[in-house]
Amino acid sequence: MQPPDRSQILDGTSVPTGSYTQGVRRFPLFFALVLQLGASVSPDFATRRTNLRKSISDGVLVLFGNKESDDLHDAFFQQTDFYYLTGWEEPGAILILTPEPEKDAPAYEQRAKAPREILFLPQRIPSEEKWTGRKLGPDDPEAPATTGFTTVMPAERFEAEFRSLMELYPNLYGLDSALLAKLAPMRSVLDVRRPIARLRMEKSPSEIEAIQRATDASIDAHRAAWRTIKPGEYEYQIAAVMVETYMNEGCRRSAYAPIVASGPNASTLHYSRNSRRTDAGDVIVMDVGAECDHYASDITRTVPVSGKFTPRQREIYDVVLGAQRAAIAAVKPGMTFGRTAPDSLYKIAYDYINTHGKDVHGQLLGQYFTHGLSHHVGLDVHDPVDTSDAFGPLKAGMVITIEPGVYIPEENIGVRIEDTILVTETGAKVLSGALPTDPDEIERALAQRK
C-alpha cells in the first residue's frame, strides 16, 4: 500500500533556501561573526533569566560555565544551559541568580540591596592570552554592555559573594551538585535542570530562526552528498562533503557525529565509524545535521547508492515513509511521543509499520522499529536532556523530530527518515520539508548527480 500523499500533511510547510541563506553562502564568515557578536547582547538572555528566577523559591542559583580545555581535539564551546541564560561564550564564567525579594520575607532589606544577577569573569592573564587569545576581563569598562549584565565581578570574588548571599537565603539551586556541596556542605542542592528544561523546550522566534538556519544548511549538505555519492566511495568521504557544505555556510560544527551508514551498517542505529566503502545495490542512511549559531538541526535520509531502490528496498522505504507521514499529520499541541503515553505519536507510527509490511519470514515489521520516534531539538540535538518533561504534552513553539525507522540486519536493509518539526498552534511545520522524502523525487535527484 502506498503511503498518504505528502501534500496532504505538508501543505505550506516547505522552507526553500532563499536570499538569507544565499547571502550566508556568499559571506559565511561575515554572517557568522555578526550573529555571534549580536548574540551577546540579545534581550532574550535577560528575559530567560527573569523567567527562571520565578522558579527559584527563596534561594540562590549558581551555574558554572565550561572551563578551557587542554584537549587539542576540541575547540571551546560553552555549556548549553549556561549559554541559554547568558549568551556568554568565554571560559571560566560563573552565574548567580536570586529571586525578587518579598517584603514579608526574612532579611528583606539586605535581600533588596543584593544584586539579582551577577556574572563572574576570570581576571585576564596576558601571558596566557598569547596562546589562547584576548579575553574580556571583569574590570574592562565595556564588560557590562558586552555581557548584558549590570553586575560583573572577578571570579575570585565568587566565594565571598556566594557565602554572603547564602546567609540571606535558605535554599541552593544548581547543576554541579558536587562542587556546590563543597562550598555549602550543610545545604541540600536543589537540581535546577527541570525548570531550565521547561524554558528551553518552548522556542522563541529567534531560536526558531536559528534552528531554521541550521536546517537549511543541513539540507544543502544532504543535497551536496546526493550530487556526489557513487558506488566505491567511502562513507567518510560522503560525510566530509556534508560537513564541508554547512561549515562553508557559516556553521561552526556538526550538531552530532555524522552517521553515514551503508549496506549492513544501515541497520546499526548510531553507527558512526563511517569507514566502509559503499557498494552498488546498497541503501545508505545519512543522519547528518549542522549546528549554526549554537542551535542544532537533525535530518536523516535513506537513499540508494546506485540511484534506484530495489523493489524490496522500496517496499520497506514506503512503509517507513507512510509511518512518518501519519505521525507528522497527527502532530499538534497536546500530543506526546512517549511509547506508552496517551495521545502517543510513537504509537501512530508503530501501528502503521506493524500493519503495512512483513519480513521475509512473514513476521510483522514493528519488531524492527527499535528506537523512539521523537526528541526535542534546540541548543543540543537532544534538547533538553535528562528530564522526564521532554516526554510531556507538546506545546506550540516546541521543535521536535519525527524519525521512524525499520532495521533488518538479515536483509542488510536499514531505513530511517527524519525531519525537524515545529509544533504550531494547529499542527506542524516541517522545517526540513525542502529536502525530498518521496522516493521518486530522491531517484530523480540522484539521476542528476555528477
pLDDT over 90 (residue 372): yes
pLDDT digits (tens, 9 = 90+) for 122-157: 999 999 999 889 999 999 999 999 999 999 999 999
Residues 140 and 288 in one domain: no
pLDDT digits (tens, 9 = 90+) for 338-355: 888 889 999 999 999 999
Residues 175 and 206 in one domain: no
Query: Residue 73 has what pLDDT?
Result: 73
Residues 174 and 121 in one domain: yes
- DSSP-derived 3-state class of residue 184: coil
**Listed residues 191, 217, 247: the one ending a domain:** 191
Residue 141 lies in a domain: yes
Residues 321 and 441 in one domain: yes
Residue 75 lies in a domain: yes
**Listed residues 191, 217, 233: the one ending a domain:** 191
Average of per-residue pLDDT values in the chain? 90
pLDDT digits (tens, 9 = 90+) for 259-269: 999 999 999 99
CA atoms within 13 A on the CB side of 271: 22
Please report which helix (H) or strand (E) contains residue 113, including its range.
Answer: helix 108-113
**Contact between residue 60 and residue 96 where contact means Cβ atoms under 8 Å apart:** yes
**Contact between residue 121 and residue 136 where contact means Cβ atoms under 8 Å apart:** yes
Residue 247: alpha-carbon gap to chain centroid: 17
Residue 36 lies in a domain: no
pLDDT digits (tens, 9 = 90+) for 187-200: 999 999 999 999 99
Tally of structural domains, the chain = 2
Cell numbers that stand for 301 in this block: 535520509
**Contact between residue 289 and residue 254 where contact means Cβ atoms under 8 Å apart:** yes
Residue 50 lies in a domain: no
> Which stretch of 63-67, 279-283, 386-390 has the lowest confidence by average pLDDT?
386-390
Report which DSSP code applies to 278: P
**Contact between residue 415 and residue 285 where contact means Cβ atoms under 8 Å apart:** yes
Alpha helices in 167-272 (DSSP H): 177-183, 193-201, 205-228, 235-248
CATH number for position 218 = 3.90.230.10
pTM over 0.85? The answer is: yes
pLDDT over 50 (residue 112): yes
**Contact between residue 288 and residue 222 where contact means Cβ atoms under 8 Å apart:** yes
pLDDT digits (tens, 9 = 90+) for 5-63: 444 444 333 333 333 334 343 334 333 433 343 344 588 999 999 999 998 989 999 99
Residue 46 lies in a domain: no
**Any idea which residue has 544584586 for its cell?**
115
**Listed residues 191, 225, 257: the one ending a domain:** 191
277 by Cβ neighbours in 10 Å (0-12 / 13-18 / 19+) ranks as: middle
Domain that residue 384 falls in: 6-17+202-447
**Contact between residue 393 and residue 387 where contact means Cβ atoms under 8 Å apart:** no
Residue 322 lies in a domain: yes
Q: Which residues contact 233 (CB under 8 A, 6 or more apart)?
A: 277, 278
Residues 181 and 280 in one domain: no
Residues 216 and 125 in one domain: no
Report which DSSP code applies to 410: G
Residues 351 and 243 in one domain: yes
Residue 178 lies in a domain: yes
CATH number for position 109 = 3.40.350.10
- DSSP-derived 3-state class of residue 176: coil
Residue 48 lies in a domain: no
Among candidate residues 265, 278, 267, 166, the one with its CA nearest the CA of residue 233: 278
Residues 124 and 271 in one domain: no
Residues 234 and 271 in one domain: yes
Query: Residue 3 has what pLDDT?
Result: 47
Residues 222 and 339 in one domain: yes
Query: Residue 325 has what pLDDT?
Result: 98
Residues 228 and 130 in one domain: no
Residues 345 and 386 in one domain: yes
In single-letter form, the type of residue at position 401 comes to: T
